[in-house]
Structure formats: structure tokens, C-alpha cells
Structure 1
Amino acid sequence: MDRGTIDRMMRREEELANPSISVIVPAYNEEAMIADCLRALLRQDYDGAYEIIVVENGSTDATGETARSFGDSRIRVVREPRRGYVNALRRGVRTSSGQILAFTDADTRVPAGWLTALVSRLSEDGVVACAGVFGFFDGPAWMRWLGRIAGRANWHLAGANMAVWRDAYEEAGGFDPQVNLGADLLLDLRLRRIGKVVIDRQLAAMTSSRRFLCAPVSALGRYFLNDAALLLAGRPLFPDFPNYRLSAFSGRKTASALGFGISLLLAAFFLACELPGSQIFGHVVAHGGKVPAVALTFDDGPSPATEEILRILDGYHIKATFFLIGENAARHPGGAARIVAGGHCLGNHTWSHPLLAPVESGGRLGREIDDAQRAIRQATGVAPELFRPPHGWRSPAMMRECGKRHLTVVTWTVDSCDWKGVPADEVVRRVLKEASPGSIILLHDGRGIVASPNAENTVEALPRIIEGLAHRGYRFATVADLLDEEAAGKKVPSQTADGRD
């Protein structure tokens, strides 16, 4: 560990109790949007001090006057006459005083717990920056629906919903002054060299869909190609943003119709990837057949929480199925070994739980599977025959790679939503409401590749789930047992909650 990292960690310890935050909002001709953005920022439930810096970037409308009209001491309006998104960002940083730099856009509305959630994630060991996901608050219903599906696929720091420790920002060199479109991704890549960048998929900001309504093909193409150029070549293909404004766009009906068609195709692809029972890309096991048994499955382990879950399962004499992330198995080999020693079933859940698995190449997916298989075998002596895709998302390439390795792809029937951090009562309610004969139930003993995840809701809910299902007459089986029964037509070797065969 170098001296800079040690110094940063020592300063971080002193800052963790309600660090001060500077929220930077770049704005160009946002008179119509800025007021709602600021109202959302002023409603934050954060206990610490925070300031809001609106950077008026050469606007010709009343953006600055609208922001000043709030008369709130937390809001400061500064002017950056040089046009350009990155110029506004850098001016905001220079003007700011917070220990944490948070960023959002003038056409974006953040939830009341936004700052609290960002600080919580930034307080985790080794985390230097955090971002959330997105949805649309305007546009036609089909666009808002698409936003809910595609917006959660964000995989890097995004300027409308992100925060970074100031010292890490400065160490990474800040925003590149030559890059507007992709400035956030370039900063993300720099920050990953000095610490962890996390994406919180429960932290959703609502933004305007106008750029996709105005020019859907151009907007999608620019973002995709620009990200690809930054990742592959380290420089943007399109350094600047187009000026999307609905009022200035004369072909809205044509664009909306075209956008609708494109969105339907994208939505169909995402649904085919995501729906647990979809067989469009190949055979997937999402249900164990109509038998009076259910399979409890746990994803993302092993982790420190795995020990407590194994203790609970052992107390009820129940066997379950654990889909292990290879990186976590390498980090906690003892936990992986104890899963096997307890007689439980293992599955492969990739090496690093990649977010963009549906669009990864077959070669990359194959390496993810093989690396995880190797780590699991090394920790347990067992090579899994089951595979669960990260987030449940599949693609033709993924299914081909699994087929080459003779892995059975398993999804689920019931999503407990414990991964969302919902209370244990809600986890129990969802499972007991949705369980049916043969259900494969999705639970988690980890949270991706987080080293010390908070799985308290799962641990608290598990005994009540077991007792509730047993009370309804269900028996418990591993996924492998359910598959054996379906194939052979024999009685599943399942257990009751007290372990009787």
C-alpha cells in the first residue's frame, strides 16, 4: 500500500461522520428544468452540511435568475462564460468547498435520500466514487417504461447521479478539460486506478428523456460509440454534446415514431435477456416442475454472511444451492469449502459478476465462467454443473459458452428482492406469497463482489421463510435434486424443515 493511499485512508477516517458535500449542477439554458432540480436537492434528508453550486454556462435565458430566486443560502450561482459541459464542471469544483463532490444535471430530479445514500456507499472500505442509475420523468409512457428497464444498466460514473471524494478526484487529475461527452466515464477510468468505483442500483435519479425523443438514433449511437472509443482508445469519438431541446426540434412526430420502434426492439431484447423463464436464447431452468418441494438458492457468496446462513440451514436440516462468484470464492475459500462440507449444491455465478454480461463477447464470458470454475474447484474440490447468469440476464453468446461447458443454466421462479435491501418482513412476504410447487427461490448471501456485504435482511428472513413454507406443506430440495426428479420421474430426495426424509 503506497503512502498516498495510507494518507487518504487516514483523512477518510476523520471525514466519515457527516462529511460536507458540494453538489455541482452545470446548466445551459435550463430555465424550464432548473427549478424542479433545485427543489429536489433542497429536500435532502442528509444530516451534514451541503451546498448547491449552479454553474450557469453562458445561458441566454433566465436559468441563473431562476436559481437565485430561491433565496436559499445553500444555493450559489456562479457563471462560467466558456461554453462546454466540462468547463462548467471544472468551474464548479474550483468554487466548491465540500469534502465530497456530488454531481447532477439541471434536467434531473434526485430522491430525498440521495446524498445520504451516496455518503453511505462512499464510506465503505476502499470506495472513492459512487454512481446510481436512471429513469425518465417525462416523455410518452413507452419511453418512461423503457427508461425503467435500460436506465438500470448504467455501469460507470454518470454526471447526473454521482459523487466522489475530493481527495480522490484531485489525485486522479479531475475531469479532462478536452472532453465533454464522456467526461464522466474518463474520470471513472482514472479513479479505478486508485480505488473502488461502485454503482448503487437502488439509487435512481429521474432525468429528462428529451435527447432520446429529439434524436433517438443520434443519441444512442453517440453514447455507445463514444464509450467504446474511450474504453478502447482512451479518447472520445465525439468530444462535445449536441444541443437537444424539444422546443427547437421540428420533426418531433417522426422522431417519436422512430424512437418508439427502436425502443420496442431494445425492450424486446432486454426482456428476452432478463425474464427468468424466457427460453428464446436457449433452455433455462426457472422452475422445478409440479412437485411439493421448493429449492432455496443463494447468489453472490461466499461472504461473511454465508456462515450464518449455513448455521440456519443446518439447524433445520435443509440443503440449499449456492451460486458462487469466483472472486468471492478465492477471497473466502473456507466459506466455500463449508458449503460443500454441509452437503449443499454448488453453482457457478461467473468470476466478477459483470453488469453488461448480455452484451459481452463469447470470449470474455467464457473466461468469466472458466475463472470462476477454477476458483470454486480450488476452494472446494468440486466443479459445478449449474450456472446462474449475473442478474439473470442471458444472451446467445452466454448460452453458447455454457453449452460448450455442459453447464445447466438456472434462473428462478421467485425473486425475494433481498438484494434491494428491503426489510426482512418484505422478503418473507414476497417469498411466501409467490412460492408454488417446484419454485426455485432467489436469495443472496452476498452483494456482487462487495467484500463485506450487508445481508442482515436475508439472515433475519430465512428462518421465517423456512417455517412458513414448511407450514404450507412444502419440502426442501437442491436444484440438482429437482432436475433429477424431473428427468427421472422419481421422488425428490427432499427434506422437511426438521430434516425428516
Structure 2
Amino acid sequence: MLYAGIAWDAGGFEVAVVDEAGRPAAPRARFGGGRVTDLIGHLRGLGRERLVTVVESTNGILDGRMMAAGLAVYRADARLLPPRPRFGSVPAEVIARAALRTPSALARLERTRGTQTGREPELEAWIASTTSEVAELTAAGHLVSHGGRDRKEVALTFDDGPQPGNTERILDVLDGYDVPATFFCVGMNASAHPGILTRMRERGHGLGNHTWSHPFLPELTRSQLTEQIERTQEAIAEASGGPAPTLFRPPYGSRTPEVLGWLAESGLTTALWDVVPDDWSMPGADAVARVVLEQVAPGSIVLLHDGGGDRSQTVAALPAVIEGLLERGYRFTLVDEMAPRVEQPAPSATSVV
């Protein structure tokens, strides 16, 4: 067997491969954030049947695409690795050797469960612990899960992009219906594909911050969260040619009371959702459209995905979603327009310390 560890940093990804004796089995390889297809091709060239590919738990933007390419992908959690730096992961070779040393401790990821495979109970517990904080922050204008229930408005949102192909097809559909949406972008992807963000801004879509590498937020220290937010703010502003976002969406919805407090102090509004068709799990385009139309109520925020894997079903479902909501008299709006209008500090990524 070969063990490939994938590390990430501001410039992209590094791949290191070791054999069963822990010896380097291929030269280290680096890939920029926009070269995910090349990275996957490199791994496939090593031989899928004998390759264990390992990401660590702050890297949530590669596994869907790698699994779609037929690779066996595993997650190494923080307890298996040395402490991370303030920004980035531990080195790729360290990740590969952790897989070799404790293979039974790794979680093999499943396409229908995603990066959180095996951690769903922990994620649910984190989220459940924040019920009172969500209510308090909503009342204070620091968090939005939905808009006013007295108006037939709905906000379509898309997470984890931009991803070439997927995002452009979604934008084509939105353009065809003249419908706005809000895109919560991953910093790595935003930096790699600025032209797509420029198109979003020019067509009147909203942009939000979705971290740099799509981590589980409760695993981060405050300084690590700061770096994720600030660098993504800068990347989105530079790529789009517009202002930095005022909205932040936590990956997986992961949060604790402490994390929500940090986010509130950042000056950003945390954006959640109330309609979730789990399009990322590939249930079929008809199922995606049906769930959205069944769950939508006045003021709903719909969670969809344009990045992180094969999103062809989302693209295919979108016309039925839009037409169904239009037939019911809904107006499409941006999440920014649903957020409470209260007095709060001007948004500033640098206000997190």
C-alpha cells in the first residue's frame, strides 16, 4: 500500500507519499488552489487500488472531488497529529505517516456523508449546545437563520465554491431567470478563480465568507479562526473587485457558544439557513427540488452547494426550484437584505483577535 498525505497552506496543496515502510514513494508535489484536477490526476497515477489518500480535518474542500474520481479518502483528526500552525495544516509527510502508524484510527469518508463521516454525533452536539446563543445573537442582529415570516421572500445560497464548471452553470441558470443568490465562498477557491467572483458581483449576487479551508470551527483556536476569516475576507475582496463580505457561514454549521461569541465580536453576521435539501449527498435532482419546495416558507434561506464535488444534480434541480417558487408567488432576495437592521460595529475582519 501507498499512503498519500495532503497538506494545505496559503498557496495551495502539497502531496507526500510513503510506502508501508515509511519511505518516500514519490517526489513531493505542490498544486495551487486552482489545480485540484491536476492534483487528483497525480494521485490516480499512483494507482487507485493500492493508494490510501488522507486529508486532515481542517481540509474540507477536496474529499468530495477525490471520491468522485474513485479515490479512497480518509480523514485524520487532530488527536492523531501534532499541533497545527496558526494558518495551514501540518506537513503532508506527517499526515501520510500518521495514516501508516494508526490506520485503524482514520475515518474512511463516504460520498453520501462527506467530510463529517463518523463525526455526525459530535457535530449535532456542538450545534445543539448553541440554542440559546443563536436566539440571543439573532435578537442582537449578529445572526440570521431566516428572514421575516410576513413576506413571501426567499434567499438561495450556495456554499463551498467557486468551482469551475459547477458555479458557472449555476450562474447561467440564475441569469436566465434574473434571480439573485448569495454565494458563501471558500478563500482558497476564491483566490484561485477571481473571474467567477467578478461575474457574481457584476450580476448583483451576494458574497459571503465560508473560511479558507472549510474546517470544523470548534477545533480551531481563536487565532486560527482569525486567520481563516481575515484571509478569506481579503481573497474575496481582491478577487471580486468589491468590498469584503459582511456575512459569514460556518462550515457544516459547526459552532459552539464560544465560537459564536468570537464570530459576533468579529463584526460579521453569522448566516445559517432553514431549508436544507442535502444536495451535496447526491440524492437526485428531483429529490433536491422536492425538498426545497416542501420546506420553503416566507423568509426562508435555502442551503445549496456549488463547490466541493459533483454538483450536476444541484444544477439540474435549480430550474424546477426557481419556477416552483415563482409559481407560488415568491420573490428572490439576498441574505444581506434579510439580516436584521440594528446598530452594530462596522464589519471588519481585523476586529477578531
Regarding TM over 0.5, the answer is yes
Whole-Å Cα distance in 1 between the matches of residues 244 and 64 of structure 2?
A: 39
Counterpart of 1:91 in structure 2 is none
* Structure 2: 5+ residue stretches without partners: 1-14, 17-25, 30-39, 54-62, 81-91, 115-120, 344-353
- Whether the aligned pair in 2 keeps the contact of 1:131 and 1:200 (CA below 8 Å) is no
Taking the TM superposition and a 5 Å limit, the aligned residue runs for 1:4-403 are 4=27, 12-13=44-45, 15=47, 19=49, 99-100=50-51, 121=67, 123=69, 130-131=73-74, 155=77, 182=102, 184=104, 199-200=109-110, 202=112, 269-273=126-130, 279=134, 282-283=137-138, 284-290=143-149, 291-304=151-164, 305-354=166-215, 356-380=216-240, 381-403=242-264
**Secondary structure, counterpart of 2:299 in structure 1:** coil
Cα distance change on mapping 1:101 and 1:122 into 2, 3 Å: farther
**Secondary structure, counterpart of 1:443 in structure 2:** strand
Whole-Å Cα distance in 2 between the matches of residues 320 and 338 of structure 1?
A: 12
Cα distance change on mapping 1:393 and 1:378 into 2, 3 Å: same
Whole-Å Cα distance in 1 between the matches of residues 73 and 79 of structure 2?
A: 7
- Whether the aligned pair in 2 keeps the contact of 1:130 and 1:157 (CA below 8 Å) is no
- Whether the aligned pair in 2 keeps the contact of 1:362 and 1:397 (CA below 8 Å) is no
Cα distance change on mapping 1:157 and 1:303 into 2, 3 Å: farther
- Whether the aligned pair in 1 keeps the contact of 2:126 and 2:254 (CA below 8 Å) is no
Identity rate, percent: 38
Whole-Å Cα distance in 2 between the matches of residues 333 and 322 of structure 1?
A: 13
Whole-Å Cα distance in 1 between the matches of residues 270 and 311 of structure 2?
A: 25
Cα distance change on mapping 1:445 and 1:173 into 2, 3 Å: closer
- Whether the aligned pair in 2 keeps the contact of 1:361 and 1:397 (CA below 8 Å) is no
Whole-Å Cα distance in 1 between the matches of residues 160 and 327 of structure 2?
A: 28
Whole-Å Cα distance in 1 between the matches of residues 204 and 68 of structure 2?
A: 38
Alignment partner for residue 333 of structure 2, among 465, 477, 501? 477
Whole-Å Cα distance in 2 between the matches of residues 406 and 280 of structure 1?
A: 17
Whole-Å Cα distance in 2 between the matches of residues 413 and 479 of structure 1?
A: 12
Measured against aligned partners, the alpha-carbon deviations of 1:192-215 in whole angstroms (never above 9, x if no partner) come to: xxxxx98446359xxxxxxxxxxx
1:337 to partner: Cα distance: 1.3
- Whether the aligned pair in 1 keeps the contact of 2:52 and 2:74 (CA below 8 Å) is no
Count of aligned pairs between the two proteins: 276
What's the TM-score once normalised by structure 2's chain length? Answer: 0.66
What's the TM-score once normalised by structure 1's chain length? Answer: 0.48
| Relative contact order higher in (CA < 8 Å, ≥ 6 apart) | 2
1:332 to partner: Cα distance: 1.0
Whole-Å Cα distance in 2 between the matches of residues 294 and 119 of structure 1?
A: 29
Measured against aligned partners, the alpha-carbon deviations of 1:54-88 in whole angstroms (never above 9, x if no partner) come to: xxxxxxxxxxxxxxxxxxxxxxxxxxxxxxxxxxx
Cα distance change on mapping 1:361 and 1:319 into 2, 3 Å: same
* Structure 1: 5+ residue stretches without partners: 20-98, 103-116, 133-153, 159-167, 189-196, 205-263, 448-452, 489-501
CA RMSD of aligned residues (A): 4.0
Cα distance change on mapping 1:319 and 1:11 into 2, 3 Å: closer
